[in-house]
Amino acid sequence: MKALVYDGPGACAVREVATPTPRGTEALVRVRACGVCKTDVHIHHGRFFAAFPLIPGHEFAGEVAAVGEAVTRVQVGDRVAADNQYPCGRCDACRGGTPLFCAHMTAQGVNAPGGFAEYTLVDEARLYPLADTVSFDEGALIEPAACAVHGIDVIAPRAGDDALQFGAGGTGLILAQLLRGAGVATLAVADLSPRKLALAGQLAGAETVMVRRDAPEAHDLALHNRYPGGFAIVIDATGVPAVIERLPRYAHPGAKLVMYGVAPEEARIAISPYDIFRRELTLLGSFSQLGTFPRAVKLVNSGVLQLKELVTHTFPLEGWADALARISRGSDEVKMVMRP
């Protein structure tokens, strides 16, 4: 089979590798679509607990091509989305009820073979059926949808809260839809891209603010003029440290400041501890997903989440360099999908 293989950070090529054979409760999934995520950029550089050699791709959907001898939940031909996370169940975090922070987490596409390949093995317990109305491209977006569901769990918005979100990429637009569904009254989304802002308005009913990277004081002024009272929830969905550092200025007293985007591991920001103390601000992180995949599947299969419009570009495996370059420079593509 063909697969995108990394021998180390930055060292990758599409090559022929052996097609794996399912055993026990494993299913062989023919990958029909695999989403591209900014996390893949971090993995490309050897970050985010990546382990090499590696076939990346952690957001994938496809059809069952073969099954192991102990499989009972799926059968050949089933259309499925895959939850890529496998906690060990034995470490202190798992035994203490916080398996998301498993010390020995296996994550397909990060430290185990993932979906940038024609086929991959997935335990049947991590496979979920796709409705006939859901495309494989949409199925590949269920993993980022699960991350957004986890984000809603962390944020715990109250009906009637006002929220400001910086960033309208694929997972950001999913989070925006869920915020609106959770009862957020005023939802403002700020981004550099007119295309992404248009989708925020269309899919989440968001009020939109154009960001200027070269002159942040311009959108600062626009936000303060339009929303002088500030927001109860202020979210970074960009992972850009300069954006995160400015979140407190948009918050009203008692607000939640949410780190939802993936910032570089080495990044540092300066925030006034007195400001946090005086206004009783809460800093929250929302990391990955675990245990939210079944709810994300329901939201997608039922049509509550709109994902079709998010897929703006598709590539074969041989187009990986182009896809990586596009997402690295922050192009207008909302969500890119590889089709092995």
Residue-wise pLDDT tens digits, 43-57: 999 988 899 999 999
Parse the chain into domains and list their residue ranges.
Answer: 2-141+307-338, 146-285
How much is the pLDDT for 85? 97
Q: At the topology level of CATH, where does 2-141+307-338 sit? A: Quinone Oxidoreductase; Chain A, domain 1 (3.90.180)
Reported confidence tier of residue 216, pLDDT bands at 50, 70, 90: confident
User: Which DSSP category does 158 fall into?
Assistant: P
Residue 74 has pLDDT above 80, yes or no: yes
* DSSP three-state, residue 235: strand
Rounded distance between C-alpha atoms, residue 250 and residue 235, angstroms: 10
How much is the pLDDT for 2? 98
Residue-wise pLDDT tens digits, 146-177: 999 999 999 999 999 999 999 999 999 999 99
Q: Give me the mean pLDDT over the 228-233 stretch.
A: 97
CATH 3.40.50.300 at 146-285, yes or no: no
Reported confidence tier of residue 204, pLDDT bands at 50, 70, 90: very high
Reported confidence tier of residue 215, pLDDT bands at 50, 70, 90: confident
Strand blocks (E) in the chain: 2-8, 11-16, 26-35, 60-67, 79-82, 85-86, 106-107, 119-123, 127-129, 162-166, 186-191, 207-210, 231-236, 251-259, 282-285, 311-315, 335-338
Rounded distance between C-alpha atoms, residue 179 and residue 176, angstroms: 5
146-285 and 2-141+307-338 share a CATH fold: no
Reported confidence tier of residue 214, pLDDT bands at 50, 70, 90: confident
Q: Give me the mean pLDDT over the 72-81 stretch.
A: 98
- How does the average pLDDT of the chain come out, rounded? 96
Q: Kindly state the percentage of the chain with pLDDT values over 70.
A: 100
Phi, psi of 330, rounded to the nearest 5 degrees = 70, 55
